[in-house]
């Protein structure tokens, strides 16, 4: 357990150093532009699986949280020219509040009813933003990036690094939750909510907590997107694709372990990027659907579940 | 046979009524359970036994002061707080945490239900879980997945998990249903040994020989009403009880 911990922290440090070196050594902007999207999906998938994986509550509202992150950044930038870090921190706070409200209002409902409520949330928020002139309304809003700060050579490189820091943050949180009493409680309530409650697990409180943490991370992941595109409009910020892709990445990777969503996001995110560039952006949605169906049939517990099953078979084979 | 009446009741049910729409599942039920008592609860299917223990354990909410535990009104408390106060239960149909091993099932109780002392390490709690499992004869299954257990093992694991919450009152909801007669004796011996550890036990059961052997007092419900309460022999001899079970 202890040795695992050291490996994890060393791995996280190596990852960040590698990302920092990349921003120094690679001069072409395109790899950062594409890589940013993958990193963003890692954060979303890891955050999603805190509630969707550990607790088993399927959230279709990823795009609501993501879009709120985008528009928190847009609003703060327009009103006060707030720097990127402030935008992200504020988005995290907004996401936490949203998660808290959503949790209190809907987590008393069990299973599918919660999922339906999260879809409604997306529509309600998107409609509100569409009718809010100050942040651009339905037509969207153009944003002028401020000059990039030292030590970065370009704004996209900086966003890439910032999103990588968010990845580490999200994974640290998710891993902590999985290994702590919170994770055990969430796992218990996913298996059987009544039995968990009668074993002393404060189910509602834990679900709301998971919703708050998950919401804060999703919103934070959305905040830099405004500066990344230099443009924001409701129909792309609240695009249902974010919800579907995030869900698919978590499920394809497997939610039983914190590493699952990372694997899923890298695999699916990379495939989507390649397809968008080489064929078209419509095909990647098709591939997403096909992969989701394949995994639901062949490996319902995702790649992580598949690996575990293979390892168990091998061990039994040896015995 | 019965413990002295002088001690204050552990659990007081007074004037408890529970309706589902137009259906009255429990109708003005009042009963006191004494500390350390072995209490049998019988009645035909649908008579309100499980509803009663759902009201006690907190799965259903009831009106104020209808359920008083150790002198405190617990009707407004959610189930997990009642568990922490000392009310544990098993389920009629076993409800294990399926994605966990047997010992992890108990760790949930130790993590959440028992007031956590930061000095007590995870290793120590694991030892506690193992000793409870050993007491139930499940030590060899500790690392097995809960899905691989047999019916009797599941029943025992549910009791072990309930015991891990360190209850003062344990409610066993048909822990012997579907077991062979030797397995019934096994589970019955376990429940008897728990009662010896100063734990008050309410046992719901259809197997009459088990009820007779176990209980110091028996209560019979029919259509949500108490039709008889007293020493096991008296209750069995009661004509209304016989009618309720056998039909007239």
In a domain, A288, yes or no: no
**The token pair that represents B51 in the structure block:** 């509803």
In a domain, A280, yes or no: no
Kindly state whether residues B86 and B173 are assigned to the same domain.
yes
B118 confidence band (pLDDT: 50, 70, 90): low
The C-alpha torsion from B89 through B91 and B97 to B100, rounded to 10°, is: 80
Question: What confidence tens digit (pLDDT) does each residue in B67-109 have?
Answer: 999 999 999 999 999 999 999 999 989 999 999 999 999 999 9
Nearest residue on chain B to A206, alpha-carbon basis: B112
Instruction: Quote the ipTM score.
Output: 0.88
Number of domains in chain A: 1
Kindly state whether residues B134 and B81 are assigned to the same domain.
no
In a domain, A26, yes or no: yes
* pLDDT on residue A136: 84
In a domain, A292, yes or no: no
Kindly state whether residues B17 and B65 are assigned to the same domain.
yes
In a domain, A227, yes or no: yes
**The token pair that represents B91 in the structure block:** 């389920």
**The token pair that represents B170 in the structure block:** 């344990």
What is the average pLDDT across A92-109? Answer: 89
Kindly state whether residues B79 and B31 are assigned to the same domain.
yes
Give the H or E element holding residue A296.
helix A281-298
Which one has a higher pLDDT value, B232 or B247? B232
Q: Which of residues 238-267 of A touch B (CB under 8 A)?
A: 256
Kindly state whether residues B41 and B22 are assigned to the same domain.
yes
Kindly state whether residues B211 and B124 are assigned to the same domain.
no
Give the three-class secondary structure for B182.
helix
* pLDDT on residue B248: 55
CATH number for the domain spanning B206: value is 3.40.50.300
Kindly state whether residues B184 and B74 are assigned to the same domain.
yes
Query: Is B115 a residue whose pLDDT tops 80?
Result: no
**The token pair that represents B96 in the structure block:** 């294990």
Name the residue facing B113 among A195, A200, A256 (closest C-beta): A200
In a domain, B201, yes or no: yes
Kindly state whether residues B50 and B171 are assigned to the same domain.
yes
B59 vs A contacts (CB less than 8 Å): 194, 197-198
B198 confidence band (pLDDT: 50, 70, 90): confident
Q: How far apart are CA A71 and CA A85, in angstroms?
A: 15
Query: Is B1 a residue whose pLDDT tops 60?
Result: no
Do B161 and A199 count as a contact with CB atoms less than 8 A apart? Answer: yes
Range of the domain at A98: 2-239
* pLDDT on residue A89: 95
In a domain, A300, yes or no: no
Q: How far apart are the first and last CA of chain B?
A: 32
Q: What is chain A's mean pLDDT, rounded?
A: 88
How many helices (H) and strands (E) in chain B? 9, 10
Kindly state whether residues B111 and B145 are assigned to the same domain.
yes
* A194 Cβ under 8 Å from any chain B Cβ: yes
| Residue B242, Cβ density class (10 Å: 0-12 exposed, 13-18 middle, ≥19 buried) | middle
Whether B210 contacts B13, CB under 8 Å: no
Kindly state whether residues B176 and B62 are assigned to the same domain.
yes
Whether A261 contacts A253, CB under 8 Å: yes
pLDDT > 90 in chain B, percent: 52
Whether B48 contacts B25, CB under 8 Å: yes
Which CA distances in Å does A180 have to A176, A185, B97, B112, B137? Answer: 6, 9, 17, 12, 28
Whether A272 contacts A245, CB under 8 Å: yes
The length of chain B is 248
What is the arrangement of strands in the sheet containing B67-69, beginning at the earlier edge strand? B23-33, B11-20, B67-69, B72-73
* A218 Cβ under 8 Å from any chain B Cβ: no
* pLDDT on residue B242: 87
Kindly state whether residues B188 and B232 are assigned to the same domain.
yes
* pLDDT on residue A318: 66
- Give the helix, strand, coil percentages of chain B, each rounded to 5: 40, 25, 35
In a domain, B2, yes or no: no
* A191 Cβ under 8 Å from any chain B Cβ: yes
In a domain, A291, yes or no: no
Kindly state whether residues B84 and B113 are assigned to the same domain.
no
Query: Is A317 a residue whose pLDDT tops 60?
Result: yes
* A1 Cβ under 8 Å from any chain B Cβ: no
Going through chain B in order, the beta strands assigned E by DSSP cover 11-20, 23-33, 38-42, 67-69, 72-73, 87-89, 169-173, 200-204, 217-222, 225-230
What is the average pLDDT across A182-205? Answer: 92
In a domain, A115, yes or no: yes
Number of domains in chain B: 2
* pLDDT on residue A50: 93
Question: What confidence tens digit (pLDDT) does each residue in A263-309 have?
Answer: 999 998 888 888 888 887 778 778 888 888 888 888 888 888 888 88
Whether A87 contacts A254, CB under 8 Å: no
* A184 Cβ under 8 Å from any chain B Cβ: yes
Range of the domain at B130: 96-150
What is the average pLDDT across B218-245? Answer: 90
What is the arrangement of strands in the sheet containing B217-222, beginning at the earlier edge strand? B87-89, B169-173, B200-204, B38-42, B217-222, B225-230
């Amino acid at each position: 357990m202890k040795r695992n911990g050291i490996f994890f922290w060393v791995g996280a440090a190596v990852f960040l150093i590698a990302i920092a070196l990349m921003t120094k050594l690679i001069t072409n902007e395109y790899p950062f532009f594409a890589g940013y999207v993958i990193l963003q999906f890692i954060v979303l998938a890891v955050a999603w699986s805190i509630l969707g994986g550990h607790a088993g509550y399927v959230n279709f509202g990823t795009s609501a949280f993501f879009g709120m992150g985008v528009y928190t950044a847009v609003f703060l930038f327009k009103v006060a020219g707030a720097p990127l870090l402030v935008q992200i921190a504020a988005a995290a706070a907004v996401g936490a509040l949203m998660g808290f409200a959503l949790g209190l209002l809907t987590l008393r409902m069990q299973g599918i009813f919660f999922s339906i409520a999260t879809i409604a949330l997306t529509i309600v928020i998107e409609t509100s933003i569409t009718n809010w002139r100050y942040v651009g309304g339905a037509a969207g809003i153009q944003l002028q990036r401020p000059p990039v700060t030292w030590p970065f050579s370009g704004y996209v490189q900086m966003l890439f690094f910032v999103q990588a820091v968010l990845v580490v943050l999200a994974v640290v949180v998710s891993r902590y939750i999985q290994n702590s009493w919170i994770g055990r409680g969430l796992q218990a309530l996913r298996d059987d909510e009544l039995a968990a409650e009668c074993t002393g697990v404060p189910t509602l409180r834990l679900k709301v907590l998971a919703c708050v943490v998950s919401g804060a991370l999703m919103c934070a992941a959305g905040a830099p997107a405004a500066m990344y595109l230099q443009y924001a409009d409701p129909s792309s910020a609240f695009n249902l694709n974010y919800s579907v892709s995030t869900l698919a990445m978590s499920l394809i990777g497997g939610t039983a372990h914190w590493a699952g969503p990372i694997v899923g996001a890298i695999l699916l995110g990379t495939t989507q990027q390649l397809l968008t560039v080489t064929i078209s952006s419509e095909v990647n949605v098709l591939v997403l659907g096909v992969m989701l169906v394949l995994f639901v049939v062949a490996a319902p517990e995702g790649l992580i579940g598949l690996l575990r099953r293979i390892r168990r078979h091998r061990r039994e084979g040896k015995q | 046979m019965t413990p002295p009446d002088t001690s204050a009741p552990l659990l007081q049910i007074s004037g408890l009524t529970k309706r589902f729409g137009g259906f009255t599942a429990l109708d003005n039920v009042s009963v006191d359970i004494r500390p350390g008592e072995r209490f049998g609860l019988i009645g035909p299917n649908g008579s309100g036994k499980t509803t009663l223990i759902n009201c006690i354990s907190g799965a259903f909410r009831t009106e104020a002061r209808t359920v008083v535990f150790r002198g405190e009104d617990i009707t407004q408390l959610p189930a997990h707080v009642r568990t922490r106060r000392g009310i544990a239960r098993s389920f009629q149909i076993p409800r294990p945490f399926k994605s966990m091993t047997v010992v992890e099932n108990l760790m949930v109780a130790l993590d959440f239900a028992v007031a956590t002392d930061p000095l007590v390490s995870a290793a120590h709690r694991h030892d506690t879980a193992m000793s409870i499992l050993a007491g139930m004869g499940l030590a060899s299954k500790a690392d097995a997945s809960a899905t691989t257990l047999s019916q009797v093992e599941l029943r025992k694991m549910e009791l072990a998990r309930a015991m891990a919450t360190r209850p003062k009152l344990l409610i066993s909801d048909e822990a012997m249903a579907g077991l062979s007669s030797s397995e019934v004796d096994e589970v019955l011996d376990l429940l008897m040994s728990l009662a010896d550890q100063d734990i008050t036990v309410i046992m719901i059961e259809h197997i009459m020989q088990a009820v007779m052997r176990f209980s110091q007092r028996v209560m019979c419900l029919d259509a949500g009403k108490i039709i008889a309460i007293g020493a096991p022999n008296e209750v069995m001899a009661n004509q209304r009880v016989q009618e309720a079970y056998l039909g007239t």
